[in-house]
Amino acid sequence: MHLLTILPALCLLGVQTAPLTQKSPHLRAQGQIWKGQSHTWMQHQPTTKGLLNYQNSMNPPRCGVPDIPVPQDSSNGHNRKKRFVLSGGRWDKTNLTYKIIRFPWQLSKVKVRRTLAEALRVWSEVTPLNFTEVQEGRSDIIIDFTRYWHGDNLPFDGPGGILAHAFFPKTHREGDIHFDYDEAWTIGTNLGTDLLQVAAHEFGHVLGLQHSAVSKSLMSPFYTFRYPLSLNVDDKLGIQYLYGPRQTPTPAPTTKAEFNPTENESNEILSSEPDTCSTDFDAVSTIRGELFFFKAGYVWRLRGRRLQSGYPALASRHWKGIPEAVDAAFEDSVGNIWFFYGSKYWVFDGKLQASGPLQLSDLGLSVSRVQAAFVWGTDKNKKTYLFRESEYWRFNPDTRRVESGHSRSMADWRGVPTNIDAAFQDEQGFAYFLRGQYYWKFDPIQVRVLEGYPRLISQDFFNCPMTSASANSL
């Protein structure tokens, strides 16, 4: 059983939260004390700034599952540092279903579904586990956003305090995850409680992991806002101890006699892998919070500006049916991923099922291709833009039409060159425009390119050394 606790965010603003009422024998108002399974965590109200800082350092937000004592090393009698810890249970199958009963009020159902799928994906990417959402019938994992008393004798306590709890495999309620409906759930921001990180932590418990002693691991008992979401080496070792690593099948060699260019359903790319440090890129897009660079059927995947192991890889590994090359790509507000190539486009839904190819002219465009596409703006005012040569259009993915058949001039983007290859927005709101081996960083406040640009893509994104040829090629 797992309980997640956190210091109330209002305290950080100098606002005292109301004391807990007598909802349960597990909770008492005095000092906001919670007791459970011989573990006690106390959260006193701060009275001064110095005391608040002291308590934040002494009692950081943490999960309420009691930590298992460090065992003795039988070989030498010394205490060894325990890394990942197991709950004692695991699922006896690798294909698991999950169902969401109720949703938080702050977030749309589409965003919640996408976020929970992403939280599960960090575990499935390194194991043979596969997760499928079902909306009817029975499921292995049941997710619910609920309040106060909700049937398991472990009531929630309103905003702050207990955030969520989950049940381990081989227990009487295996697979159940409950989130406190009254929390300020957010996605990708530390202004509330980040659903992605809390959910991924809880899924770790549902799969059989206890807490890790490694401070920066996802399964650490202490909640820390980190983006983008990723597993620590210790998390990976723990989950693979239970379920083993994901096996990547080795493709059978294809001879010239077997290859039929009219039946390229596997979408294997026969060209050689591009050199990361000397290539330009066909498209770049932020997808599920990660950055993807596309070139000649290959894709590079960056998480937190770090290239992930195993990349570059064939783009068809992620999106079956993707065209052999990509001119532009973007992810819309509901999680659909759009790819453009020549006079056609493809749309992959949340389950990565493709529709297309469809005609570019159906979008209201009179041009034969687009060179770049990206979504730019704040959460409530995000707009999608399509680019070609010295012109651009504002596009509405919901209606699948450009807002006007008449293009606008690239001069609106002060300092950005024409004929760009790609564009994307980072988490701070800056826009990036790529052409050749260089990129320009665009300030949304000044509405112009920052000083000191362009810069080399290979150096800033892939840590490639500068050569004299690249330094003089602009």
pLDDT of residue 17: 30
Q: Quick check: is 15 in a domain? A: no
Cα gap 6→31, rounded to integer Å: 15
How many CB atoms within 10 Å of residue 371? 22
In a domain, 465, yes or no: yes
Contact 232, 204 (CB under 8 A): no
If asked whether residues 316 and 387 sit together in one domain, one would say yes
Tens-place pLDDT, residues 401-455: 998 778 899 999 999 999 999 999 988 889 999 999 999 999 988 889 999 999 9
Taking a C-beta distance cutoff of 8 angstroms, is the pair 84, 212 a contact? yes
Instruction: Look at residue 274 and tell me if it is in a domain.
Output: no
Task: Verify that 213 and 333 share a domain, yes or no.
Answer: no
Which residues are catalytic, by number? 202
What are the binding residues for Ca(2+)?
A: 140, 157-158, 176, 180, 183, 282, 327, 329, 373, 421
Let me know if residue 239 belongs to a domain. Answer: yes
Which segments within 190-248 are labelled E, that is strand? 193-194
Q: Is residue 464 part of a domain?
A: yes
The answer to whether residues 186 and 297 belong to one domain is no
Dihedral angle sign, alpha carbons of residues 27, 30, 35, 41: positive
Per-residue pLDDT tens digits of the chain, which is 474 residues long = 554 444 333 222 222 233 333 333 332 222 222 223 322 222 223 333 333 343 344 444 444 444 555 444 434 444 444 467 776 689 999 999 999 999 998 889 988 999 999 999 999 999 999 999 999 899 999 999 988 877 777 788 778 777 888 888 988 888 999 998 888 898 877 778 889 999 999 999 999 998 888 878 898 877 777 777 889 899 999 999 999 998 765 444 433 333 233 333 333 333 467 888 989 999 999 988 899 999 988 999 998 888 888 888 888 888 888 888 899 999 988 888 999 999 999 998 866 777 888 999 899 988 889 999 999 887 678 899 999 999 999 999 989 999 877 889 999 999 999 999 999 998 888 999 999 999 999 998 888 999 999 999 999 999 988 765 444 444
Same domain, 232 and 321: no
Q: What is the CATH number of the domain that holds 204?
A: 3.40.390.10
Residue 75 lies inside a defined structural domain of this protein? no
Q: How far apart are CA 67 and CA 59, in angstroms?
A: 15
Kindly tell me the sign of the dihedral angle through the C-alpha atoms of 308, 230, 139, 349: negative
Question: Is 382 found in the same domain as 307?
Answer: yes
Do 226 and 354 share a domain, yes or no? no
Residue 276 lies in a domain: no
Q: Are residues 136 and 228 in the same domain?
A: yes
If asked whether residues 238 and 330 sit together in one domain, one would say no
For residues 334 and 452, membership in a common domain is answered with yes
**Cα–Cα distance measured from residue 214 to residue 221, given in angstroms and rounded to the nearest whole number:** 9
For residue 154, the enclosing domain spans 56-67+82-243
291 lies in the same domain as 366:
yes
- Which of 243, 260, 292 is the last residue before a domain boundary? 243
Interatomic CA distance for residues 184 and 63, integer angstroms: 17
What is residue 391's predicted lDDT score, i.e. its pLDDT?
Answer: 93
The domain boundary residue, chosen from 243, 271, 298: 243
- Cα torsion for 178, 183, 185, 191, to the nearest 10°? -140
What CATH number is associated with residue 296?
2.110.10.10
Query: Packing angle between helix 109-124 and helix 195-206, nearest 10 degrees?
Result: 50
* R_g (Cα) of the chain, nearest Å: 25
The domain boundary residue, chosen from 243, 274, 295: 243
Are 407 and 395 within 8 A, CB to CB?
no
164 CB neighbour count, 10 Å cutoff: 25
Q: DSSP H helical segments within 277-417, as ranges?
A: none
Q: Which residues are annotated as a binding site for Zn(2+)?
A: 63, 150, 152, 165, 178, 201, 205, 211, 219
Q: How many whole angstroms separate alpha carbon 282 and alpha carbon 304?
A: 21
Predicted local confidence at residue 473, as pLDDT: 44
Q: Is residue 294 part of a domain?
A: yes
Q: Is the domain of 328 the same as that of 204?
A: no
**Whether 233 and 363 share a structural domain:** no
Q: Could you tell me which residues are annotated as the binding site?
A: 63, 140, 150, 152, 157-158, 165, 176, 178, 180, 183, 201, 205, 211, 219, 282, 327, 329, 373, 421
Count up the domains in the chain and report the number: 2
pLDDT of residue 93: 92
